[in-house]
Structure 1
Amino acid sequence: MTAIEPDDQEEKPLDPAMESVRRKMVRLQIVSGAIMFVSLMAVFGAVVYKTMHSEAKETAATVSAAGVPSDAPLAATISLPLGFKVQSTSFSAGQILFYGETAEGKSKALVFDLRTGRTVADVSVAGN
């Protein structure tokens, strides 16, 4: 029958060269595990950062360039001077430029800001 000798069951001490290799392997395993742990934490941190900032972008995306919510139309009224004849208009960055002539025949430019709801510039244009 098979008889297991007690000598085979006991671990024999490794020779110094093999013990050195074993220590290096354990050290390599610890360093590799630490690097993997730090990398995993960096990925989790990036995911959390991305989710926190994407919520801020979603709320910012519902506001147009003029600062008006995209789900609601803007209602504003501008009071132009009496007798002002609009010759042209222009829109940029939430501001409307009205260019025209006053009742006295002087050229004038009026800038209306949609965010604040008021006229922000009243420019008289002098001819040559």
Structure 2
Amino acid sequence: MTAIEPDDQEEKPLDPAMESVRRKMVRLQIVSGAIMFVSLMAVFGAVVYKTMREPKETASTAAASGVPSDAPLAATLSLPLGFKVQSTSFSAGQMLFFGETVEGTRKALVFDLRTGRTVADVTVAGN
């Protein structure tokens, strides 16, 4: 086997330019490591926040429309006397009744199922 010279084992001091580059590289490595650590902690924090938070119900669920899941909703709407319903529509927990009164006036009545009351009484004027 070849013998290794003892002076090859000793580290020789770097020239000043290389020592400056080495210091900059060490500083860059420490800053990069700190940034990566902070980013990783932010991701873990977001995951923990999402898992610990109470789930929000979507608009497609019955609770979002105001209808209880254990029993059907019961409500009574009193339309004006002699009101002739021509069409109805339902959206987001509200019912629209479109029709004519006894006097021939066209009206749109909006009934909210959550509150159980008429929220709009619109007279439709026109030819």
- TM-score surpassing 0.5? yes
Distance across 2 between alignment mates of 1:124 and 1:19: 86
Kindly indicate whether the alpha-carbon contact (under 8 Å) linking 1:62 and 1:71 is maintained by their aligned counterparts in 2. no
Kindly state the Cα deviation for residue 40 of structure 1 after the two structures are TM-superposed: 1.5
Question: Which runs of 5 or more residues in structure 1 are unaligned?
Answer: none
Q: How many equivalent pairs are there? A: 126
Change (3 A) 1:112 1:58: closer
Change (3 A) 1:115 1:12: same
Q: Could you say what the CA RMSD is over the residues aligned between the two structures, in angstroms?
A: 3.9
- Larger deviation: 27-36 or 72-81? 27-36
Distance across 1 between alignment mates of 2:29 and 2:106: 81
Kindly state the Cα deviation for residue 18 of structure 1 after the two structures are TM-superposed: 7.3
- Larger deviation: 43-52 or 80-89? 43-52
Distance across 1 between alignment mates of 2:63 and 2:41: 36
Change (3 A) 1:3 1:62: same
- Larger deviation: 11-20 or 81-90? 11-20
Looking at secondary structure, tell me which structure has more helix per residue. 1
Kindly indicate whether the alpha-carbon contact (under 8 Å) linking 2:57 and 2:64 is maintained by their aligned counterparts in 1. no
Kindly indicate whether the alpha-carbon contact (under 8 Å) linking 1:83 and 1:102 is maintained by their aligned counterparts in 2. yes
What is the correspondence of 1:78-93 to structure 2 with a 5 Å cutoff?
A: 78-93=77-92
Change (3 A) 1:107 1:59: closer
Kindly indicate whether the alpha-carbon contact (under 8 Å) linking 1:107 and 1:124 is maintained by their aligned counterparts in 2. yes
- Larger deviation: 112-121 or 41-50? 41-50
Task: Report Cα offsets for 1:18-58 as digits up to 9, x if no partner.
Answer: 76666455434423331221121121122133335xx2424
TM-score (norm 1): 0.62
Change (3 A) 1:25 1:113: same
Change (3 A) 1:108 1:35: closer
Q: 1:110 matched to which residue of 2?
A: 109
Distance across 1 between alignment mates of 2:32 and 2:126: 77
TM-score (norm 2): 0.62
Kindly indicate whether the alpha-carbon contact (under 8 Å) linking 2:59 and 2:65 is maintained by their aligned counterparts in 1. no
Task: Report Cα offsets for 1:79-124 as digits up to 9, x if no partner.
Answer: 1122222221112332211122333444332211122210122233
What is the correspondence of 1:1-128 to structure 2 with a 5 Å cutoff?
A: 23-24=23-24, 26-52=26-52, 55-58=54-57, 62-70=61-69, 72-126=71-125, 128=127
